[in-house]
Every structure is written in C-alpha cells, then in structure tokens.
Amino acid sequence: MSHVEIHPQLLADCYYLGHLPACELLLHRNACVPWFILVPDTALADLLDLPTEHRDAVVAECAAVSAFIKQILGYAKVNFAGLGNVVPQMHLHVIGRSEDDAAWPQPVWGNFLGEQTYASGQVQQWREGLAKMIGLVPLES
C-alpha cells in the first residue's frame, strides 16, 4: 500500500513512528499514558466502512500494538477507540491504561490535568521495539 498523508493536527499532537503494511503509526506526545494512534491507508472516515480484508489488516495491526503495550510495556488494560470527531481522517487509538494513570478510570480525552514528556531516548527505544516485535518500518528520529 502507499503511505497516507497524515492530518496536520495528528502530526502536531504526535511523534510519527513509522509504517506498518496497512497503517502509519504515531505516538501521542503526552506521556501520561502510552497512547498510540494508527492511521489506516484509506480516504474512508470510518473503520467499519473498510472492505473486509483491509479492515482485518488494520485491526490486526491495532492488536499487534496492543500486544506490545501489554507484553513489553507491562500494561494489563488497553483501550481501543476510533472517534474522528475533531480530526476527520480515520485514526484509531490504542492506549495502555492502569489504575495509576492520571485519568483513571475516566477516558483519556479531556481528563489529564497536565502533560508529561517522554524521557530522552524513550520514543526511539519504543520505535525500535515495535520494529522488532511487529515489523514497524521506523522513521529516522
């Protein structure tokens, strides 16, 4: 598949990690929780409108990111959502959650009182881990 052009708001809010076969992978800049965003290669706005094979590939990539969050980052709970109310481009949220996070048990949207930043090298370490575990083709940082 060709690589999709990512909406400017997503690029402003996220680190661009790299490519998967069906999606581009981003990481939200707020390090309060590990908040990954997958942007499928499509002009369609809703996941359920994708043809079955493409939808299955996108969901499989979301599941692979979820496995990374659970197995490598050590989170027991992962939230998954596709809203698109602010950014019209289809994008899917895969978010590690714990009872210790700043928004628990509320949704992450609008429930963080501050913003945390990633430690030096953390984004690159996760990018490399995702490349090894799920086949991410990383972008240079």
**pLDDT tens digits, 61-86:** 999 999 999 999 999 999 999 988 88
The CATH H-level (homologous superfamily) assignment of domain 8-138 is: HIT-like (3.30.428.10)
What digits encode the pLDDT tens for the residues 29-61?
999 999 999 999 999 999 999 999 999 999 999
Distance CA 138, CA 127 (A): 6
For residue 129, the Cα-to-chain-centroid distance in whole angstroms is: 14
Integer Cα distance of 35 and 95 in angstroms:
4
Contact 127, 141 (CB under 8 A): yes
Domain regions of the chain by residue span: 8-138
Q: What is the pTM of this model?
A: 0.94
**Rounded CA separation 97/85 (Å):** 22
